[in-house]
Amino acid sequence: MAAYRQQRRCDEEAVFVVEGPKMAAEALASGFVIRTVCATTEWLAANGAGVAAECHEVSLAELERLSNQKAPNQVWMLVERKDLNDLKDPDDLILALDRIQDPGNLGTMMRTADWYGIRHIVCSTDTVSCYNPKVVQASMGAVFRTRVEYVDLPQWLATCGMPVFGASLQGEPLPTIHHPLPALKILLIGNESRGISPVAMAHVTHPVLIPNIGGTAESLNASVAAAILIDRLIG
């Protein structure tokens, strides 16, 4: 089982790792196929030993050898990936991500999208995998409810046929953007340090700026910026 700490092994078998009682509960409620469970006696007693094809009772020491977490917590699961193409596009906003590298940022953006009912996220091929264990944990269950698609992003933007709002230091200040906005639109968020790539920016129809009111901070975290823009643009 320790081999599944390697992302390549998970990709080869189209599975991903879920850890901890909260995420395990999300997995059990999701309808995804759970291939393997390794859990403590207490967790198995509370949740049943038949929740997966393979269930193994393990000690905390054994759980530590499996875990990607600093503090392993009761249960480790191997979950089969599921095609979420049956999720229809949202009625309002699609989130597009260009070269996002930090797993915590992607997971947090998935969680924010889930909160606002955004079911479709489109990523550049060099964005971190949505099945990276740190992304899965940070998503807080959104990985089970959000379709994340990896595409040639500039090409996809060129053919999407929708207005594209992109975070930009040269954009229109966010407070001056008023509703009603286009019924279906795209919000494009760029790399944590480099922003939106020039080839993707060429397809932005509405550059937007979050004003630096305090005037002292150098930048906003990418996931925080995404949350602010989603809140303004949705609805």
Q: What is the pTM assigned to this prediction?
A: 0.93
- Other CB atoms within 10 A of residue 114 CB: 19
**Does position 89 have pLDDT exceeding 70, yes or no?**
no
Q: Cβ(98)–Cβ(189) under 8 Å?
A: yes
- Other CB atoms within 10 A of residue 18 CB: 27
What sign does the CA torsion over 145, 146, 147, 150 have?
negative
H helix intervals, the chain: 7-13, 21-30, 41-47, 60-66, 103-115, 133-139, 153-159, 198-201, 222-233
Q: In CATH terms, are 2-80 and 93-233 the same topology?
A: no
Residues forming a β-bridge with 149: 122
Give the per-residue pLDDT at 90.
Answer: 63
pLDDT digits (tens, 9 = 90+) for 180-228: 888 889 999 999 999 999 999 999 999 999 999 998 988 899 999 999 9
Q: How far apart are CA 231 and CA 224, in angstroms?
A: 11
Q: How far apart are CA 209 and CA 120, in angstroms?
A: 23
- Locate the domains of the chain by residue range: 2-80, 93-233
The residue type at 105: N
Give the per-residue pLDDT at 84.
Answer: 85
**Does position 179 have pLDDT exceeding 90, yes or no?**
no
Tell me the CA distances in angstroms from 224 to 84, 210, 219, one per residue in order. 26, 11, 10
| pLDDT over 70 percentage in the chain | 97
- What is the mean pLDDT of the segment spanning 65-74? 86
Q: How far apart are CA 117 and CA 168, in angstroms?
A: 24
Q: How confident is the model at residue 3 (pLDDT cuts 50, 70, 90)?
A: confident
Name the least confident of 17-21, 41-45, 48-52: 48-52
Give the per-residue pLDDT at 131.
Answer: 97
CA atoms within 13 A on the CB side of 95: 32
Peptide bond connecting 103 to the previous residue in cis, omega within 30 degrees of 0: no
Instruction: Name the CATH code of domain 93-233 (choices 3.20.20.70, 3.40.1280.10, 3.40.50.970, 3.40.50.720).
Output: 3.40.1280.10
> Percent helix, strand and coil across the chain, each rounded to 5?
35, 25, 40
Provide CATH code, domain 2-80: 3.30.1330.30
Q: How far apart are CA 33 and CA 28, in angstroms?
A: 9
Q: How far apart are CA 201 and CA 198, in angstroms?
A: 5
